[in-house]
Amino acid sequence: MKFKVWCYDRKEWESDFIAIVQNGILIEIREGTWRPISPKNHKVVWSTGLKDKNGKEIYEGDRIESRSPYINIGTEEPTGRICVETFQIIYLEGEARYATKNISSKYNKGRVSVFSMDQDSIKKYWKVIGNIYENPELLKGK
């Protein structure tokens, strides 16, 4: 599985090769040497395995903007109106899967939904607009 590691102290992604070894210990590998790095100062962020409409990999903690057409329930045809919502990608620990947490909708704010869209729809409508690590101001919209 693909992952990246955020360093809380430096407020940036680790650029060196990081491995996760037995018992979840993080190891930094640089110029042939190995050294453990503190899990207290680092956060492992896992990829969902999905990509947005720009081909950008989607990770836990990413903020997503979705622009999808409203569909007429009776005819199942697009109405011509666009629904714009913002989500945060979260990991449901007890269920071992990813979900979206709505952070923009007047009526659905805070609602958690397991991905119900297929990869083709995600590639068509979703766009990564930031993440809670590089853009901590996005946490205010929790």
Q: For 88-121, what is each residue's pLDDT tens digit?
A: 999 988 888 888 888 876 667 777 877 666 778 8
Q: What is the mean pLDDT of residues 4-9?
A: 93
Kindly report the pTM of this predicted structure: 0.81
Strands (E), the chain: 3-7, 12-13, 17-21, 25-30, 33-37, 42-51, 57-59, 62-71, 78-92, 97-102, 112-114, 126-131
Q: What is the mean pLDDT of residues 4-18?
A: 90
